[in-house]
Amino acid sequence: MRIIAVCHDWLQLFMLKRKLRKAAPGDEIAGFTKQERALGHAMCKVVDAVFVDISCRKPVRSFVERLQELNPCINLIFIAEKADGYYMASAFKLHASGYIIKPYGVKEIEAELKNLRYTGRDPWP
């Protein structure tokens, strides 16, 4: 599986990638602090899942919609500071696969990966 992590803070991105590697050993994991670079990566390779920190300084909606245009079966997992009703509702309007609240650990990531909306066996529309 190909997974990308997107977080504006490089230290938080480093920690997220570290937890992803523990939760999904053997999977291809790439991390980006800039949404534009993550989109460029997704244009070159089919990405199965993306973990997006929604505390990013840039709006996340347009970024996520572009990812969905590239791959309608992409799994979106949002990471948030708190269980905010507005952000949770927005995430589910975008048909998110999951939602993680900080602080989180490997177990939370494993749970999201086990319950993905789309699996590698899903046909593309």
Instruction: Give residue 91's pLDDT band: very low, low, confident or very high (50, 70, 90).
Output: confident
Q: Classify domain 2-114 at the CATH topology level.
A: Rossmann fold (3.40.50)
Q: Which residues have CB under 8 Å from 27's CB, separation 6+?
A: 1, 2, 3, 20
Instruction: Supply the pLDDT for residue 125.
Output: 47
Q: Is the pTM of this model over 0.75?
A: yes
Over the stretch 15-40, which tens digit does the pLDDT of each residue have?
A: 999 999 999 999 999 999 999 999 99
Q: Please report how the helices 10-23 and 106-114 are oriented relative to each other, as an axis angle in degrees rounded to 10.
A: 60
Over the stretch 60-69, which tens digit does the pLDDT of each residue have?
A: 889 999 999 9
Residues 41 and 31: their CA atoms lie apart, in Å, by: 10
Residues 38 and 92: their CA atoms lie apart, in Å, by: 21
